[in-house]
Amino acid sequence: MNREDLLRALEMFAKNWLAHDGCWFLAAEEGFGMNAAIELDKIAWQRFAVTEANRIMTTFSIPSAGGLAALEKALGLRQYSLINSQRAEWSEDGKRLRFFMDICRVQETRRRKGLADFPCKSVGTVEFETLARTVDPRIHTRCLHCPPDAPEGKYCGWEFSVADESSAPVAL
């Protein structure tokens, strides 16, 4: 395949992955109810976040315990990055990294169908905390906002910091 076809294939694979995640969740919700489906989803995302972070770090030579710079790079290499508009920004002092999902494909689909936002805060907390700690166990994660607690029209926002004060961004 040429470059354009490879990029289209990557986007399609990411969409297929997300569609499978959605189909799995809906099946769990239909079979066990929303609360049980969310609990199962948290377990699945905890396992997947470790796998995804480790594969990203290995494939792209991101150092273990590389601080917030390593996390920023890993966040940009997740499957989500191919299909969701996202951004990362540093605090002025370089001690905090904020990550925002500007467009969330899951929530956009629900809104298009006239459904309420999926209450993903509890699942997202497990997902982002696990991903961040896998990249560097010193990283602390704080939810800035996430459905059902996101401001009107917003999706999720997260803030990451490291207990070690010397964790300012470094080139990777």
> Model confidence over 126-157: pLDDT tens digits?
999 999 999 999 999 999 999 998 898 899 99
CA distances from 75 to 2, 25, 30, 60, 65 (A): 26, 23, 31, 12, 15
What count of other Cβ atoms lies within 10 Å of the Cβ of residue 102?
A: 12
> Model confidence over 20-39: pLDDT tens digits?
999 999 999 999 999 999 99
Give 116's pLDDT tier (boundaries 50, 70, 90).
Answer: confident
- Name the pTM for this structure: 0.90
Higher pLDDT, 82 or 164: 82
In which element (H, E) is residue 141 found?
strand 139-145
Q: Say whether pLDDT at 166 is over 80.
A: no
Give the whole-angstrom CA distance, residue 78 versus residue 135. 13
> Model confidence over 76-114: pLDDT tens digits?
999 999 999 999 999 999 999 999 999 999 999 888 988
**Share of residues in the chain with pLDDT > 70 (%):** 95
Helix (H, G, I), strand (E, B) or coil at 114: coil
Give the whole-angstrom CA distance, residue 77 versus residue 139. 18
Domains recognised in the chain with CATH numbers: 3-162 (3.30.1380)
